[in-house]
Chains A and B, each alone.
Chain A
């Protein structure tokens, strides 16, 4: 039993309760897929990777693989009974390549062996006769080749060119923004359990329904014959939205043929080499503005490196377009998004889903405008906030809520921004080896899947005779506390202690046709579906109680009791009584977000239900000898609406900020000229550790209620705070800028590695002379 059950039954909504699995986490009892005891006869699979360059496969010799100790079978594309497809949106990507590979080390076969060690060893024994194909890897190469995985999107409002021509000042710039490896601590994994009664697959996935569907196509089975299950993931961050299916499909292919359970857990290096990452972008921008810093017009060209297939690139790039304005009104604007094909692994969903890449460019531009006008960049940002001079976004949606200005003002004071900025600029005048920088940047992030039909969710609610409640929904738990939040909502509905509500593993046979747990929408959608199920059951119980006590009073569910008229009984007694009276105590609930929709053809509509907001002040220090840098202090103020669980929300904000900081500073993906990933393990790909956390990190929830009728008037929190870290990038540029003389702002790209910072320091020094 968790320790969350306190004797008094306080309203669980809004309380900083510990994660429902915290006790299991700290004792090592929480079961992840790899911790489930393998059934007898379980085989272990490994992927066989192709040549270290995109190749035409002339011949593949797998004899040595087959003959290796412990190997039971080897499978190639030819062994796939159904469709050889791993592309979730567009069927443009084979699960196992056959006559040619599109990127270095693309999987070509699957080995199943008695032990994992044997499978891994065998997988390396393949011999290929292969011809190298040209690789388009860099921006220059992909732009020149000009192949697109999905059509270009253009969103236009007004006449940007004419307005730019008229503008008092013009700014042009380019920024390159690197990708990011998810580095979920639990790598991709699946356990396939075949049986004559149907196939069950335990998969570490954010999208069980899609895994179920992809398995159906792979094996020509109907969805009803396949159950996909996930209790928890050891992190996901978008990396297990579309691409968890690949691992599940390979394990299942082997299970299908051998009739034995098969587990496939990718070794970390294989995982990093064969699964997609955050898209890297190159943004070319132009803005027209006046002396006050007010922006009148802009054009943004977003070039995304999508990898060798479409995957989720269209939606990711759409979201980048929707966030290339961040919080700023640009009356005449043209945003163009190109989705380039490259000979690299197919990029995919990652926390923020294109939004962060869109925002980085406009924030750089705000800083540049301020530098040229000799203003504090905060004033330029405030001048352009939605609401000051207009509130219609380029894609036609009205930005109604006026949260950001008061939020920024509050943070400006609480973080002592102006004073510190003045002190830092003064200290930098006489700085020796170390210089500091500070920045305040805002975030406005749209909540909803931009693919409208995904904005739905289902839930199943069972009340048992003893009164205990089981809630199941389509959302998956990856550490974000979704199960707990939904349980809090349900416990509140029935006025029972939280430990009477259990949430069981997410399974496609309990709640069907689910959307991925993504786009920060987990609680909004699944919490609302759970609420709908509660409502149905409460209506039935109300009718039952009214009949039983012959009253038309409404019952009150509170403190573990039910009060109706002058009668009351314990909640558990009521459940038993209802069962005796043959009331069905199980209900489903469904929710579809109202009023949203967006037309990709016209580029207009209302893609989002609402916006989540936040702002951050980051202060950094750079070492001018080496470019090494770190964040010394950060103050985050974030709008989660009315929080369902402040402890969970604060945790999301903190984790997102640190992850964003990693993306913009030390996390660098390096590919060679053949598109082979060189940073394919945590030895070479560095995510933040505890010592990278700012010495001072103040995080506050902004006091707000969602004007839209979300669960408890809360707001989504998974992704939006990720972009608070843009303040780090901006602060680094600020630290450098003073060296370049008045009006100077460095062309700092992302990630701002030590090398990149030193490059900009040298450029700033050169500009000054």
Chain B
């Protein structure tokens, strides 16, 4: 992973390891990559960022921004605002904040740094540092590094390579055609997109898959298309690019988007990966199912489309042939008069895995009530959809108790949220729910 390369090979030890699984942000670095004609700047978690995904990009770590003689304005502001105590988290915060400046983000400082944990400070100095400097231009020395990187990123033609090492092979096609044929030749290979799931299998599970096929460089899988009927997201489009498009039609999903992982995770992770991995607690599928999304699957030259709710068959089992892959996710555009409610229930507001995700949509065609965390797969509550009785949720689901929530809680919350959607005028929902 990128972090090991920085710390061991480059002896660039400013960037820290706090968790080795994408959750603490101590390893954050700034990634610069091509997005259309622009350069997209994002913080990423180096601990789960595969080196193979770095072609045609530039990485900047804390050592690059400034030095003790000439601190970067963000660094100076963190000093002035007393934003560090033990200092272990600090380089990661600085990277997230510099990325926020470069990416000209519009959301709050809190959202920009929600993927970075600090156990010492209460975040106040860090928030003030970013708010005060978010529009400050980059210092000349760092600007020069950025300019140099930008020009070669623009000129570079990433992907289209293979690596064969002692523990395995990596295939990095740059066209859909090559991907399709590689997939046919190597149906046993593991597809890797942003690696925010796959990375953990390696860093925590210590898996060494012998064959990897990357989708990162496949141009066609990076397309975001809008027609009158659909948004079409290529399977390798990171969340950071899915969000803004989707929110045009569905502003109710802003919380869903901003609470999905962190800025870092959204910069790497893809909607395609989130769906493809078949997790019952992914945040993408329930919303997509509620919106009536479908998947475009490809096998060689053959394409087929499946409704998303039919794609999830059972725990760990999807309607995806061995040599098939997800090409795109098609999301219907908003209907006139459509009502939408998306609620994520988790222990912490940000960057937490869902206990229950509820996504409800009502259009002239009908009601779609989708849930994650309630069953072995993301699923529609079909009984309730027919009866419009929130209490019928018990007939649809028999959720598990696990470390995130008990079965009783999951059912209770699901019922409360359903009631709020189905009977929006009830004055005090929780009081009635108890009766």
Residue of B nearest to A767 (CB): B434
CB-based contact A431/B428 at 8 Å: yes
CB-based contact A765/B430 at 8 Å: yes
Residue of B nearest to A647 (CB): B82
CB-based contact B14/A185 at 8 Å: no
- Is residue A625 within 8 Å, beta carbon to beta carbon, of the partner chain? yes
Given the interface contacts A268-B18, A626-B345, A765-B435, does A186 sit within 8 Å of B86 by beta carbon? yes
CB-based contact B345/A628 at 8 Å: yes
Binds B, one of A20-28, A340-348, A603-611: A20-28
Q: Mark B1-42, 1 if CB is under 8 A from A, else 0.
A: 000100000011111111111111010000000000000000
Which residues of B in the span 355-413 have a Cβ within 8 Å of any Cβ on A? Answer: 355, 402-406, 409, 412-413
For B343, what are the chain A residues with a Cβ–Cβ distance below 8 Å? 625-626
CB-based contact B412/A762 at 8 Å: yes
For B347, what are the chain A residues with a Cβ–Cβ distance below 8 Å? 666, 668, 686, 753-754
Which residues of A in the span 642-680 have a Cβ within 8 Å of any Cβ on B? Answer: 647-648, 650-651, 654-655, 657-659, 666, 668, 670, 678-679
Task: Kindly name the residue among B61, B84, B428 whose own CB sees the greatest number of chain A CB atoms within 10 A.
Answer: B84
For B11, what are the chain A residues with a Cβ–Cβ distance below 8 Å? 37
- Is residue A8 within 8 Å, beta carbon to beta carbon, of the partner chain? no
For A697, what are the chain B residues with a Cβ–Cβ distance below 8 Å? 122, 124
Which residues of A in the span 82-132 have a Cβ within 8 Å of any Cβ on B? Answer: 117, 120-121, 124
Q: How far is the CB of B22 from chain A (nearest CB, A)?
A: 8
Given the interface contacts A625-B429, A684-B404, does A235 sit within 8 Å of B88 by beta carbon? yes
CB-based contact B120/A186 at 8 Å: no
Q: Mark A214-255, 1 if CB is under 8 A from B, else 0.
A: 000000000000000000111111000000000000000000
What is the CA–CA distance of A726 and B118 in the complex, to the nearest angstrom?
21
Q: How far is the CB of B23 from chain A (nearest CB, A)?
A: 4
CB-based contact A690/B430 at 8 Å: no
Which residues of B in the span 88-146 have a Cβ within 8 Å of any Cβ on A? Answer: 88-91, 94, 109-111, 113-127
Given the interface contacts A26-B79, A268-B20, A654-B121, does A19 sit within 8 Å of B114 by beta carbon? no
Query: CB < 8 Å: which of B16, B68, B125 contacts A23?
Result: B68
CB-based contact A683/B431 at 8 Å: no
Given the interface contacts A183-B117, A762-B434, does A681 sit within 8 Å of B79 by beta carbon? no
What is the CA–CA distance of A21 and B90 in the complex, to the nearest angstrom?
11
- Is residue B275 within 8 Å, beta carbon to beta carbon, of the partner chain? no
For B303, what are the chain A residues with a Cβ–Cβ distance below 8 Å? none
Task: Kindly name the residue among A25, A121, A628, A654 whose own CB sees the greatest number of chain B CB atoms within 10 A.
Answer: A25
Residue of A nearest to B428 (CB): A432
- Is residue A758 within 8 Å, beta carbon to beta carbon, of the partner chain? yes
- Is residue A439 within 8 Å, beta carbon to beta carbon, of the partner chain? no
Binds B, one of A150-158, A450-458, A478-486: A478-486
For B82, what are the chain A residues with a Cβ–Cβ distance below 8 Å? 16, 18-19, 22, 647-648, 650-651
CB-based contact B113/A690 at 8 Å: yes
CB-based contact B91/A689 at 8 Å: no
What is the CA–CA distance of A719 and B262 in the complex, to the nearest angstrom?
30
CB-based contact B431/A234 at 8 Å: no
Residue of B nearest to A235 (CB): B86
Q: How far is the CB of A191 from chain B (nearest CB, A)?
A: 13
CB-based contact B126/A690 at 8 Å: yes
- Is residue A682 within 8 Å, beta carbon to beta carbon, of the partner chain? yes
Query: CB < 8 Å: which of B88, B94, B353, B355 contacts A186?
Result: B88
Residue of B nearest to A759 (CB): B409
Q: Mark A1-39, 1 if CB is under 8 A from B, else 0.
A: 001000000000000101101111111111110110100
What is the CA–CA distance of A626 and B403 in the complex, to the nearest angstrom?
17
CB-based contact A691/B114 at 8 Å: yes
Q: How far is the CB of B114 from chain A (nearest CB, A)?
A: 5
- Is residue B80 within 8 Å, beta carbon to beta carbon, of the partner chain? yes
Residue of B nearest to A679 (CB): B403
Q: How far is the CB of B312 from chain A (nearest CB, A)?
A: 22
- Is residue A739 within 8 Å, beta carbon to beta carbon, of the partner chain? yes
Task: Kindly name the residue among A21, A27, A32, A627 whose own CB sees the greatest number of chain B CB atoms within 10 A.
Answer: A27
What is the CA–CA distance of A768 and B435 in the complex, to the nearest angstrom?
10
For A759, what are the chain B residues with a Cβ–Cβ distance below 8 Å? 409
Q: How far is the CB of A44 from chain B (nearest CB, A)?
A: 11
- Is residue A259 within 8 Å, beta carbon to beta carbon, of the partner chain? no
- Is residue A687 within 8 Å, beta carbon to beta carbon, of the partner chain? yes
- Is residue A692 within 8 Å, beta carbon to beta carbon, of the partner chain? yes
Q: Mark B38-56, 1 if CB is under 8 A from A, else 0.
A: 0000000000000000000
Query: CB < 8 Å: which of A655, A754, A766 contacts B345?
Result: A754
- Is residue A70 within 8 Å, beta carbon to beta carbon, of the partner chain? no
Which residues of A in the span 186-221 have a Cβ within 8 Å of any Cβ on B? Answer: 186-187
- Is residue B206 within 8 Å, beta carbon to beta carbon, of the partner chain? yes
Q: How far is the CB of A471 from chain B (nearest CB, A)?
A: 20
For B78, what are the chain A residues with a Cβ–Cβ distance below 8 Å? 22, 25-26
What is the CA–CA distance of A684 and B413 in the complex, to the nearest angstrom?
20
Given the interface contacts A26-B75, A30-B87, does A678 sit within 8 Å of B206 by beta carbon? no
- Is residue A561 within 8 Å, beta carbon to beta carbon, of the partner chain? no
- Is residue B350 within 8 Å, beta carbon to beta carbon, of the partner chain? yes
Task: Kindly name the residue among B12, B120, B405 whose own CB sees the greatest number of chain A CB atoms within 10 A.
Answer: B120
For A185, what are the chain B residues with a Cβ–Cβ distance below 8 Å? 16, 18, 24, 26, 86, 88-89, 117-120
Query: CB < 8 Å: which of B21, B76, B125 contacts A682?
Result: B21
Which residues of B in the span 52-66 have a Cβ within 8 Å of any Cβ on A? Answer: 61-63, 65-66
Given the interface contacts A626-B413, A678-B403, does A234 sit within 8 Å of B71 by beta carbon? no
- Is residue B420 within 8 Å, beta carbon to beta carbon, of the partner chain? yes
- Is residue B151 within 8 Å, beta carbon to beta carbon, of the partner chain? no
Q: How far is the CB of B333 from chain A (nearest CB, A)?
A: 29
- Is residue B302 within 8 Å, beta carbon to beta carbon, of the partner chain? no
CB-based contact B409/A655 at 8 Å: no
Q: Mark B326-368, 1 if CB is under 8 A from A, else 0.
A: 0000000000000000010101111111010000000000000
For A628, what are the chain B residues with a Cβ–Cβ distance below 8 Å? 345, 349
CB-based contact A268/B19 at 8 Å: yes
- Is residue A267 within 8 Å, beta carbon to beta carbon, of the partner chain? yes
- Is residue B227 within 8 Å, beta carbon to beta carbon, of the partner chain? no
CB-based contact B435/A769 at 8 Å: yes
What is the CA–CA distance of A520 and B202 in the complex, to the nearest angstrom?
40
What is the CA–CA distance of A430 and B122 in the complex, to the nearest angstrom?
33
CB-based contact A27/B14 at 8 Å: yes
Q: How far is the CB of A291 from chain B (nearest CB, A)?
A: 31
CB-based contact B413/A232 at 8 Å: no
For B429, what are the chain A residues with a Cβ–Cβ distance below 8 Å? 432-433, 624-625
- Is residue A688 within 8 Å, beta carbon to beta carbon, of the partner chain? yes
What is the CA–CA distance of A653 and B13 in the complex, to the nearest angstrom?
30
- Is residue A184 within 8 Å, beta carbon to beta carbon, of the partner chain? yes
CB-based contact B117/A625 at 8 Å: no
Q: How far is the CB of B350 from chain A (nearest CB, A)?
A: 5
CB-based contact B110/A693 at 8 Å: yes
Q: How far is the CB of A35 from chain B (nearest CB, A)?
A: 4
Q: How far is the CB of B261 from chain A (nearest CB, A)?
A: 11
CB-based contact B416/A690 at 8 Å: no
- Is residue B85 within 8 Å, beta carbon to beta carbon, of the partner chain? yes
CB-based contact B16/A32 at 8 Å: yes
Task: Kindly name the residue among A26, A686, A762 whose own CB sees the greatest number of chain B CB atoms within 10 A.
Answer: A26
What is the CA–CA distance of A8 and B67 in the complex, to the nearest angstrom?
25
What is the CA–CA distance of A765 and B435 in the complex, to the nearest angstrom?
8
CB-based contact B110/A691 at 8 Å: yes
For A769, what are the chain B residues with a Cβ–Cβ distance below 8 Å? 434-435
What is the CA–CA distance of A365 and B24 in the complex, to the nearest angstrom?
37
Q: List 17 A-B contacts (CB under 8 A).
A: A19-B82, A19-B85, A22-B78, A26-B87, A27-B14, A120-B206, A232-B87, A479-B85, A625-B420, A625-B430, A687-B117, A687-B119, A690-B114, A739-B430, A755-B409, A762-B434, A765-B433
Given contacts A268-B18, A678-B402, 9 further A-B contacts (CB under 8 A): A19-B82, A25-B78, A28-B62, A185-B16, A624-B429, A651-B121, A654-B124, A655-B120, A658-B123
Measuring CB to CB, which residues of chain B are less than 8 angstroms from any residue of chain A? 4, 11-24, 26, 61-63, 65-68, 71, 74-76, 78-80, 82, 84-91, 94, 109-111, 113-127, 204, 206, 343, 345, 347-353, 355, 402-406, 409, 412-413, 416-417, 420, 427-431, 433-435
